[in-house]
Amino acid sequence: MVKKNHEFFVSISEPISLRRTLLESSRSIIHILQEFERLKNIRKEKMGLIHNLDSVMKEIFSLTSKLKSELPKIPKKKVSKPVKKESVKKIHSKSKKLVPKTRSALEQLQTELDDVEKELSQLS
- Tens of pLDDT, residue by residue over 23-55, are 999 999 999 999 999 999 999 999 999 999 999
**Quick check: 101 and 41 in contact, CB under 8 A?**
yes
For the segment 7-13, the average pLDDT, to the nearest whole number, is: 84
Q: pTM surpassing 0.85?
A: no
Give the chain's mean pLDDT.
81
Is the pLDDT at 63 greater than 60, yes or no?
yes
Predicted local confidence at residue 43, as pLDDT: 97
Largest CA distance in the chain: 101
Predicted local confidence at residue 102, as pLDDT: 53
**Quick check: 106 and 35 in contact, CB under 8 A?**
no
